[in-house]
């Protein structure tokens, strides 16, 4: 079912481009990104602290992955 | 062999995603180069204390870019563990051991992509791991969308203290896919998927399960395949503060389903202070073969509380102080972070008193970070 | 997992979208849009008044790392060619003009730093990257556009400035 939705999305996009409809333009220009460049907006600010917290949780919880913390795969008991 | 199928599927998916991305790298014209990660050095002392376990140690990270082409990162992490947890005191005797963790990564920027290759090794007296990762971050759509694809392969070697004849292996494959999208000049959102496949020895050589009240060695399956999807949003509120929220859903072939929900708030105070506060709630259902006290004989049985039905509430705070600063040269910050864990197990009893086990723990992280 | 199948198809489309959107409002060989901006030193500066000289317009911000990396090179190029009919205008787009003035003073910038706080000039030029550098010839026409900063591109800047000065 998901691949059918995907195919539909592709078909619509191709038709839009061929039909001359505007493909959406980036709506936040580089000169408007001051608010996003602040370190407070970083999802992963301190690598070591994030890795340590992730390790503490990995040992005690069965849920793992999709955390955005790189360098997983410790596999410790 | 059934065990290789999850790995084959992940391989195929990775190749497809890589092909699309690399195709994109060559198709987009001479666009601007994405900057290398900033030079950084971090030194940390961390402590975990709770449930009879104390783990402390230092950690180090150094990142430096060479000739503005490649950035190298080295990490070292030590865990000095003193383990007198409920599992250990009820079935064995308390012990002390060290875990050493090394990592080396290289980042290479080509046009709008950042390619990261990383190797890692972790070593304890009875468990050692080696891992290799490849991550590609591609900026598209005028820099508003970043697509991440990542792949990790890890191999473990398991031995047993007190039994020199025991030797087994475990292999892990991880495939990551993520999209980060700028929504407005103040809001970012991201979706991350990760699929992990494990084969080999996935249990614990010392832990016992309980069948009809008697202790028997645990029997874990030799394969596990898990998926996680996480949605995140972070927004700049304009008053030198930001708010973030995330939700992750996890499911695997051991029938475990877990939800994680987290919310956090960050704020600058004065010229030099940055404070963060966050709350994280985690809940999971038990694995199919998990049992606190099995009342039947099954192929697999485990009393590993990591696989039981429990909730975990974490409350954390961080404070960062801008210590020394020379714009354009270096920036040194002193940081402290505290996390309080509260785990409530629904179907794991504390056999010392017969009631459901609950665990309170505290984590303290003190660290210096410098960008130079 | 069908999500991967869908994503595998959507990625090229996203990239195609990126390609389609990778155009600039300012085209090569067209007239550089005129503007008047207040400079950090005080007086207003108008682009039209620079006709007859070779002008390099550099869009930068204090929060942009590559912009800061580029500054010493721009300083050097300005010093080298200013006596031979070359002008470098640093257009800053920070929300807070004081931050721009502070950083300009700390970096010791000798070329005029103009303040585009309301982003009007940035919108007129519609540069799709930060930093963005344009080279305008003596007749006010845009001749070279550079998007972003990469180590070593300052050599290209110098070559292009020299070739425009020779005209």
- Taking only the tens place, the pLDDT of each residue in A39-70 is 898 878 898 999 999 999 999 999 998 887 65
Residue of B nearest to A35 (CA): B186
Identify whether the C-beta of residue B303 lies closer than 8 Å to the C-beta of residue B218: yes
Q: Which of C2, C10, C11, C61 to mutate to test the interface with B (most CBs of B within 10 A)?
A: C11
Supply the DSSP symbol for B90: H
Identify whether the C-beta of residue A10 lies closer than 8 Å to the C-beta of residue C70: no
**Closest partner CB to B140 (pick from C4, C14, C128):** C14
Residue of B nearest to C19 (CA): B28
Rounded CA-CA distance A36/A25 in Å is 19
Burial class (CB in 10 A: 0-12, 13-18, 19+), B214: exposed
Chunked into runs of 10 residues, chain B (372 residues) has average pLDDT values of: 57 61 44 74 96 95 90 95 87 88 93 91 94 93 89 95 93 94 93 96 91 92 97 93 96 97 96 96 97 93 95 97 82 96 96 93 97 88
**Number of A–C residue contacts, CB under 8 Å:** 58
Written as one string, the DSSP assignment of B315-345 is EEEEEEEEEEEETTTEEEEEEEEEEEEEEEE
Tell me if residue C131 falls in helix, strand or coil: coil
Contact across the interface for C130 and A31, Cβ inside 8 Å: yes
Distance from CA of A3 to the nearest CA of C (A): 6
Q: What is the ipTM of this complex?
A: 0.88
- Residues of chain C falling short of pLDDT 70: 1-25
Number of CB atoms found within 10 A of residue C102's CB: 15
CATH topology for the B4-31+39-62+75-92+126-371 domain: Porin (2.40.160)
Contact across the interface for B31 and C106, Cβ inside 8 Å: no
**C25-166 maps to which CATH number?**
3.40.30.10
Residue pLDDT, tens place only, B131-173: 999 999 998 888 889 999 999 999 999 999 888 999 999 999 9
Q: Where are the domains positioned within chain B?
A: 4-31+39-62+75-92+126-371
Contact across the interface for B240 and A66, Cβ inside 8 Å: no
Q: Where are the domains positioned within chain C?
A: 25-166
Here the tokens at position B24 are 């994109």
**Which stretches does DSSP call E strand in chain C?**
36-39, 44-46, 54-60, 86-92, 113-115, 132-136, 142-147
Residue of C nearest to A30 (CA): C129
């Amino acid at each position: 079912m998901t691949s059918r939705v995907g195919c539909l999305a592709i078909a619509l996009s191709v038709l839009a481009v061929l039909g001359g409809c505007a493909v959406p333009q980036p709506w936040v220009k580089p000169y408007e990104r001051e608010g996003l460049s602040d370190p407070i907006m970083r999802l992963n600010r301190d690598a070591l602290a994030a890795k340590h917290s992730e390790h503490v949780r990995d040992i005690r919880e069965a849920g793992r992955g999709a955390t955005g913390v790189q360098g997983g795969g410790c596999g410790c008991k | 062999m059934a065990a290789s199928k999850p790995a084959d599927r992940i391989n195929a998916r990775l190749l497809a995603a890589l092909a699309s991305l690399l195709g994109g790298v060559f198709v987009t014209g001479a666009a601007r180069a994405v900057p290398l990660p900033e030079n950084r050095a971090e030194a940390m002392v961390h402590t975990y204390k709770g449930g009879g376990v104390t783990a402390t140690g230092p950690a180090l990270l150094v990142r430096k870019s060479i000739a503005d082409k490649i950035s190298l990162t080295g990490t070292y992490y030590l865990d000095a563990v003193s383990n007198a947890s409920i599992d250990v005191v009820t079935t064995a005797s308390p012990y002390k051991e060290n875990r050493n963790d090394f990592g080396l990564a290289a980042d290479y920027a080509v046009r709008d992509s950042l390619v990261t290759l990383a190797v890692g090794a972790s070593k304890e007296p009875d468990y050692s791991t080696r891992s290799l990762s490849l991550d590609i971050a591609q900026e598209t759509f005028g820099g508003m969308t970043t697509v991440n694809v990542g792949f990790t392969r890890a191999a473990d070697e398991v031995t047993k203290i007190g039994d020199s004849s025991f030797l087994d292996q475990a292999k892990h494959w991880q495939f990551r896919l993520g999209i980060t999208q700028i929504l407005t000049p103040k809001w970012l959102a991201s979706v991350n998927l990760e699929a992990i496949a494990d084969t080999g020895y996935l249990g614990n050589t010392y832990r016992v399960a309980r069948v009809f009240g008697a202790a028997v060695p645990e029997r874990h399956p030799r394969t596990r395949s898990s998926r996680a999807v996480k949605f995140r949003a972070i927004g700049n509120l304009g008053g030198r503060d930001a708010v973030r929220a995330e939700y992750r859903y996890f499911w695997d072939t051991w029938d475990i389903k877990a939800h994680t929900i987290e919310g956090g708030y960050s704020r600058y105070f004065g010229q030099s202070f940055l404070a963060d506060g966050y709350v994280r709630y985690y809940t999971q259902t038990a694995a199919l073969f998990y049992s606190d006290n099995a009342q039947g004989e099954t192929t697999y049985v485990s009393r590993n509380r990591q696989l039981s039905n429990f909730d975990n509430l974490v409350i954390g705070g961080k404070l960062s102080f801008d210590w020394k600063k020379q714009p354009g040269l270096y920036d040194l910050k002193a940081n402290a972070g505290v996390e309080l864990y509260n785990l409530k197990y629904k179907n794991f009893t504390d056999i010392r008193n017969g009631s459901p086990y609950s665990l309170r723990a505290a984590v303290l992280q003190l660290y210096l970070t410098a960008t130079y | 997992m069908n999500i991967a199948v869908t994503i595998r198809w959507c990625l090229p489309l996203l990239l195609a979208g990126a390609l389609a959107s990778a155009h600039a409002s300012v085209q090569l060989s067209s007239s550089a849009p005129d503007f008047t901006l207040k400079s950090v030193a005080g007086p207003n500066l108008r682009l039209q008044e620079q006709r007859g000289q070779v002008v390099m317009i550099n869009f930068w911000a204090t929060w942009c790392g590559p912009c800061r990396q580029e500054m010493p090179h721009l300083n050097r190029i300005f010093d080298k060619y200013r006596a031979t009919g070359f002008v470098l205008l640093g257009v800053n787009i920070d929300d807070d003009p004081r931050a721009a003035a502070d950083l300009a003073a700390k970096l010791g910038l000798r070329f005029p730093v103009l303040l585009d706080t309301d982003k009007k000039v940035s919108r007129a030029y519609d540069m799709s990257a930060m930093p963005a550098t344009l080279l305008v010839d003596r007749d006010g026409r845009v001749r070279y556009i550079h998007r972003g900063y990469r180590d070593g591109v300052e050599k290209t800047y110098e070559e292009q400035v020299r070739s425009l000065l020779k005209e």
